[in-house]
């Protein structure tokens, strides 16, 4: 009984154990691995994916799926840089607010189709991905920009803290802070607000949610606007961290994010999932990618490993579903 509590509601315990095991194994194989540099490298490489994953988590809990977020992200991130260059403007905070706003507007396309016309989310977001990406290349720009406005350049080089070791300096980027805040906010939203509970309810069973008086359309509208805003924010963060704006970036990397959320225990059928699980899922994928790279394993194997983990995660969910037939939201109501 105690063991099953340790395992966690959405296999969080299992995931944490897996990550620790992997890190220890890597430490044995490659002694240089267990150091501050690995921590800062992994954090740096997961920040953008984690931001996307938070948006994806909310969408998946609501029973949907979103494959347009990478296009929305690079549109917002690249677009803001182009706008700043054109206006000769500089800044650090407002560009992120603007990118989030742009993302929300683009997410509005999804919201209108999903909430307004009640169309399947996969098809809608596939369409939006094409539209947004095409519009970016056709209207905003197709040039690789190797220099960012100075405010963003200096933000990219700002550290929360830095540890100097023999082999160089391990720097924790300042951008880890806003992402941590976002994690807490999304967790609070999902756990302790009426809106958050409504998102779970819709994902559990749309029809039941509608009958108990939840305004499904409104909640779905919020979900896609919110996911869009997070995508926009993450997009500019990607551009800032990589210190170059390439309109061809990001699109094509959807799988890693969806995988992270599903591995993190969110049910692909909706109604189930947690921020903690998502953080662990993203971390697991980042650690796996980082370790395989360190071991000199070709990138094709990384794809294979991530694919296997997704199947494993979904398989575990299916087994869990077999044990407990009723949607989780109903289980919660009954208890």
Residues near another protein (CB under 8 A): 30, 32-33, 37-38, 41, 45, 137, 142-144, 146-147, 153, 157, 162, 164, 166-171, 242-244, 246-249, 293-294, 296
Long-range contacts made by residues 305-308, C-beta under 8 angstroms, separation at least 24? 306/255, 306/256, 306/259, 307/255, 307/259
Q: Which residue, 154 or 193, is less far from another protein as judged by CB?
A: 154
The span from the CA of 322 to the CA of 335, in Å, is 19
Residue 147 C-beta: closest distance to another protein, Å: 6
Q: Are 257 and 66 in contact (CB under 8 A)?
A: no
Q: Which residue, 9 or 159, is less far from another protein as judged by CB?
A: 159
Residue 39 C-beta: closest distance to another protein, Å: 12
Q: Which residue, 142 or 193, is less far from another protein as judged by CB?
A: 142
Cα 36 from chain centroid (whole Å) = 24
The span from the CA of 106 to the CA of 101, in Å, is 9
Q: Which residue, 171 or 272, is less far from another protein as judged by CB?
A: 171
Residue 250 C-beta: closest distance to another protein, Å: 10
Residue 335 C-beta: closest distance to another protein, Å: 46
Nearest CA-CA partner of 230 in 136, 121, 101: 101
Q: Are 249 and 74 in contact (CB under 8 A)?
A: yes
Count of all residues that appear for the chain in the document: 335
Q: Which residue, 120 or 134, is less far from another protein as judged by CB?
A: 134
Nearest CA-CA partner of 167 in 25, 33, 29: 33
The span from the CA of 239 to the CA of 211, in Å, is 44
Residue 77 C-beta: closest distance to another protein, Å: 14
Residue 82 C-beta: closest distance to another protein, Å: 13
Q: Which residue, 150 or 193, is less far from another protein as judged by CB?
A: 150
């Amino acid at each position: 009984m105690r063991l099953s509590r340790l395992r966690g509601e959405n296999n969080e315990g299992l995931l944490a154990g897996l990550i620790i095991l992997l890190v220890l194994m890597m430490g044995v194989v490659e002694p240089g691995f267990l150091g501050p540099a690995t921590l800062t490298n992994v954090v740096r490489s997961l920040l953008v994916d984690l931001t996307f994953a938070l948006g994806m988590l909310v969408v998946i809990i609501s029973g949907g799926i979103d494959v347009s977020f990478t296009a929305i992200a690079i549109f917002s991130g690249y677009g803001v840089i182009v706008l700043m260059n054109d206006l000769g403007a500089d800044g650090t905070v407002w560009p992120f607010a603007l990118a989030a706003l742009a993302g929300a507007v683009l997410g509005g396309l999804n919201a209108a189709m999903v909430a307004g016309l009640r169309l399947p989310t996969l098809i809608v977001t596939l369409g939006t991905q094409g539209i947004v990406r095409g519009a970016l290349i056709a209207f905003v720009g197709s040039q690789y920009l190797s220099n960012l406005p100075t405010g963003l350049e200096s933000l990219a080089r700002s550290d929360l803290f830095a540890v100097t070791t023999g082999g160089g300096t391990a720097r924790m980027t300042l951008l880890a802070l806003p992402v941590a805040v976002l994690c807490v906010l999304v967790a609070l939203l999902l756990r302790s607000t009426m809106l958050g509970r409504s998102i779970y309810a819709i994902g559990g069973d749309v029809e039941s949610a509608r009958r108990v008086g939840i305004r499904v359309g409104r909640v779905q509208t919020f979900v896609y606007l919110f996911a869009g805003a997070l995508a926009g924010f993450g997009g500019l963060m990607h551009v800032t961290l990589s210190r170059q704006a390439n309109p061809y970036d990001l699109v094509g990397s959807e799988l890693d994010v969806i995988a992270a959320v599903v591995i993190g225990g969110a049910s692909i059928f909706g109604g189930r999932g947690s921020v903690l699980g998502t953080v662990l899922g993203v971390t697991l994928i980042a650690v796996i990618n980082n370790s395989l790279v360190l071991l000199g394993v070709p990138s094709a194997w990384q794809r294979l490993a991530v694919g296997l983990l997704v199947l494993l995660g979904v398989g575990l969910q299916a087994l869990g579903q077999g044990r407990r037939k009723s949607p989780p939201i109903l289980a919660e109501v009954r208890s």
